[in-house]
Structure 1
Amino acid sequence: MEDELGGGDLPPGEWWVVDPAEGNVNHLRGLPGWAVTATLVRGNRPVLTAVHLPLTGETYTASAGGGAHLDGRPLRVSDTEDLGLGLVATSQARPDEDEAVVRRVGVSITAMLSTALVVRASVPATLHLLTVAAGRVDAFWQFAGARADLLPGALLVTEAGGRVSDAGGRPWTPGGESSLAAAPGVHGQAVAALTR
């Protein structure tokens, strides 16, 4: 795919979705939050992914049914069961986002500020999803979004035992209008906060 910010479902078949500088605004500003990603997608489902963080040397990998790993060590999402004690994160989908999506993001951040312990907001989405898979962050949500940002993390979170859905709790697809990745113990609470 030529458009790194492209969203929506992929055409039928197998596709590699690659981003050589996921979080390129961070890369350009000298911040450490960027990665190189490659994800194999079959039938709009990620089945194999690798995410490498050049500045830390960490490599996250996952395969459908094979688990999620950080430098070969298994990953597990957090066991948090109270979102009021949770650390959550969100990300801006794109710089030129539609005004309705921007407003929805603002409302969701406000809802989470009154529900979760701490709310983080930064880019890129992939790095937040890595932290959910590693059990460091309890939930991540985003409205709209680019395939390259969400596909690697969706597989990593699922394979680490997390739940990935849309913000309303329905099955997530790359063509959906939202995404939510969370530890099972807080997923329902996050859906409730995002759908108030």
Structure 2
Amino acid sequence: MNPAELLPVAVEATTVAAELVRTRFPGTLTAKGDRDMASEVDFAVERAVRDLLRERTPGIGLLGEEEGGPALDGELTWVLDPVDGTVNFVHGLPLCAVSLALVRRRRPVLGVVEMPFLGSRYQAVEGAGAYADGRRLRASAATTLAEAVVAVGDYAVGADADLLNRERLAVTAALVPRVQRIRMLGTAATDLAWVAGGRLDALVMLANNPWDTAAGVVLAREAGALVVDRYGAEHDTASNETLAGPRSLLDEIRALIRAVRADFTE
């Protein structure tokens, strides 16, 4: 099946999801671990999208953040983050997104990122370009970190957070004197969509899940950005980290990460 044929279905699903996010209060929060939670809206969105996609594409399973699903090594699988940026949503911050991707054998081939409170929809199909509200997207052409606005992923919570954050804080500290500005938005889907659109020059995220990144990876790639893990390998749904941006910036960023890791292993 050509993934482009399923783009209207994906847009329909994220439109339904975004309306739920816009019109409902977070409600009761369900703890998922140390300082991590899901809202009633997370569950409501995932169930609504799951029901719609089951009806429209009955032969394709769905992996959702809240209720799980099939492995991602099959022919086609939907991957959903119902509210990417739940903490922002719960606190009334408008930076959150619905992220829906179609994955073929661990490689995202279609992505839609809908930002309910910003009124923006980003969409891409592999080989067909990336668009936001009808406008073709082009990633940044920055060549030096000194001219780059670089987003960093959230710091860790939960088990081993202190240990994990030592490296993440050290990477941030290495970036700060070299980049134009650092930003932490709290929503990976928005980070990647804005890398695709050139609002952010690069993204450094040292941990992720497939629902965090799958849709955004398609957007960034189709807009001309490179998306790899910390070792420079092509990103897929099994990747543990996400680096996105122009190759020249990622070469510098990967060198900084290697230097930080070397300091920790001495």
Task: Say what the alpha-carbon RMSD is for the aligned residues.
Answer: 1.9
Alignment partner of 1:73 is 2:135: yes
What's the counterpart of residue 127 of structure 1? Answer: 190
Please tell me whether the aligned partners of residues 149 and 200 of structure 2 are also in contact (alpha carbons under 8 angstroms). yes
Corresponding residue SS for 2:81: strand
Structure 2 letter corresponding to 1:145: N
Higher helix share: 2
Match of 1:54 among 108, 116, 120: 116
- Pick closer, same or farther for the CA change 1:55–1:143 going to 2, 3 Å: same
1:137 aligns with 2:200: yes
Counterpart secondary structure, 1:170: coil
1:108 match? 171
Aligned to 2:253: 190
- Which of residues 38, 45, 70 is equivalent to 2:100? 38
| Runs of 4+ off more than 6 Å | none
Displacement of 1:97 after TM fit?
Answer: 5.6
Shift of 1:139: 0.7
Would the alpha carbon gap of residues 97 and 38 (structure 1) be closer, same or farther in structure 2, given more than 3 Å must change?
Answer: farther
CA distance in 2, matches of 1:85, 1:97: 36
Structure with greater proportional strand content: 1
Paired residues of 2:229 and 2:235 also in contact (CA < 8 A): yes
Is contact 2:130-2:136 (8 Å) kept?
A: yes
Q: Is the 8 A contact 2:155 2:165 kept in 1?
A: no
Question: Aligned letter for 1:168?
Answer: Y
For 1:180 and 1:98, the matched residues in 2 are separated by 22
Report percent identity of matched pairs.
33
Query: Aligned pair 1:152/2:152, yes or no?
Result: no
Deviation at 1:4, TM superposition (A): 4.3
Unaligned runs of 5+ in 2: 1-62, 260-266
| Alignment correspondent of 2:243 | 180
Relative to structure 2, which stretch is displaced further, 10-19 or 90-99? Answer: 90-99
User: Which residue does the alignment assign to 1:20?
Assistant: 82
TM-aligned CA deviation for residue 42 of structure 1 = 0.5
More displaced 10-residue stretch of structure 1: 155-164 or 139-148: 139-148
Separation (CA, whole Å) in 1 of partners of 2:243 and 2:198: 15
C-alpha distance in 2 between matches for 1:2 and 1:180 = 23
C-alpha separation in 1, matches of 2:133 and 2:218 = 16
Closer, same or farther in 2 for the Cα pair 1:98/1:175, shift >3 Å? farther
| Greater length-normalized contact order (CA 8 Å, ≥ 6 residues apart) | 1
Give the CA deviation at 1:49.
Answer: 1.0
SS at match of 2:100: strand
Distance, in Å, in 2 between the alignment partners of 1:5 and 1:107 is 34
Structure 1 regions of 5+ residues with no counterpart? Answer: none
Instruction: Please report the TM-score for the alignment, with normalisation by the length of structure 2.
Output: 0.68
Task: Name the CA distance, whole Å, in 1 between partners of 2:252 and 2:220.
Answer: 17
- The range that moved more, 107-116 or 39-48, is 107-116
* 2-structure distance, mates of 1:101, 1:10: 26
